[in-house]
Copies of this chain bind each other. A is one copy, B any other.
Amino acid sequence: MDIILHGNAVVGQSGGPTAAINATLAGVIKGVLCEQNKRGNVAIDTLYGMRNGIDGLLREDLVDLSAIFSPEADPEGKNLEALTLTPAAALGSCRRKLPAAGADNEAEVMDQLLDILDRNNIRYFFYIGGNDSMDTVAKLSAYAAKKNYPIRVMGVPKTIDNDLVGTDHTPGFGSAAKYISTTVQEILRDTAVYTVPAVTIVEIMGRDAGWLTASAALGRLVTGREPDLVYLPERKFKYDEFFDDVREALAKHPNVVVAVSEGLECPDGTLVGASTQSGAVDAFGHKYLSGTGKALELAIKAEIGCKVRSVELNLPQRCAGHLLSAQDIEESVATGKAAVDAAVSGVSCRMMTIRRVEGDGYAFETGHEDIFAIANQTKCVPDEFINARGNGVTDECLAYLLPLIKGERYPEYKDGLPAYFTI
Beta-carbon contact of B417 and A190 below 8 Å:
no
Q: Total interface residues on A, using CB and 8 Å?
A: 66
**Which residues, 305 to 339 on A, are CB-close (under 8 Å) to B?**
307, 309, 311-316, 318-323, 325
CA of A278 to CA of B405, assembled, Å:
36
Beta-carbon contact of A417 and B182 below 8 Å:
yes
CA of A345 to CA of B93, assembled, Å:
62
Beta-carbon contact of A413 and B408 below 8 Å:
yes
Quick one: copies of this chain in the complex? Answer: 2
Asked if A389 CB lies within 8 Å of chain B CBs, one says no
Asked if A17 CB lies within 8 Å of chain B CBs, one says yes
**Separation in Å of the A389 CB from the closest CB of chain B?**
25
Beta-carbon contact of B319 and A290 below 8 Å:
no
Beta-carbon contact of B185 and A420 below 8 Å:
yes
Asked if A107 CB lies within 8 Å of chain B CBs, one says no
Beta-carbon contact of A193 and B312 below 8 Å:
no
* Residue of A87, A406, A407, A417 with most chain B CB atoms under a 10 A cut-off: A417
A17: nearest chain-B partner, CB-CB: B190
CA of A190 to CA of B17, assembled, Å:
6
Contact A182:B222 (CB < 8 A) given known A88-B192, A315-B190, A402-B416: no
Residues of the B chain whose Cβ atoms lie less than 8 Å from the Cβ of A420: 185, 189, 223
**Which residues, 387 to 423 on A, are CB-close (under 8 Å) to B?**
402, 405-408, 410, 413-420
Beta-carbon contact of B194 and A319 below 8 Å:
no
| Residue among B190, B218, B322, B405 making CB contact with A182, cutoff 8 Å | B322
Beta-carbon contact of A193 and B89 below 8 Å:
yes
- 3 smallest CB-CB distances across A and B, nearest first, come from A405-B416, A190-B319, A88-B189
Q: Which residues of A contact B (CB under 8 A)?
A: 13, 17, 52, 55, 86-89, 92-95, 178, 181-183, 185-187, 189-195, 200, 218-219, 221-223, 278, 280, 290, 294, 301, 307, 309, 311-316, 318-323, 325, 402, 405-408, 410, 413-420
